[in-house]
Amino acid sequence: MVFISMLSRFGITDISSYFRKLRIPIVISVVVCACIGASDSGLKGFILGGLLGLFAPAALLWLGVMLVGITIFIAIYAAAWAVIFCVLWWLLGS
């Protein structure tokens, strides 16, 4: 849901607006992915790398959202355990 709201904040509401708004990152990722695929698997890798490059900017945005969410979750989890240990230390120490 956060990913979709972030895309709408960028003005991306459908496939055509995705290609229109992220034109330069898509071109860069298609070229890079196609070159990496071609160097690894020839023509088949070139085609698959180019297709994967079309969706790489969206995948990187999704990955960024997921990593931020996971980081927040782990920080809250660690803070909760720190509070539990501090309370136990305080209770058992006195």
Q: Domain residue spans in the chain?
A: 2-69
What confidence category does residue 81 fall into, taking pLDDT thresholds of 50, 70 and 90? Answer: very high
CA distance 77 to 43: 47
The pTM (predicted TM-score) of the whole model is 0.75
CA distance 85 to 66: 29
CA distance 42 to 50: 12
User: Tell me, what's the pLDDT at 40?
Assistant: 82
Copy the structure tokens of residue 18: 């995705």
Question: Helix axis angle, 23-93 relative to 2-9, nearest 10°?
Answer: 140
On whether the CB atoms of residues 37 and 45 are closer than 8 A, the answer is yes
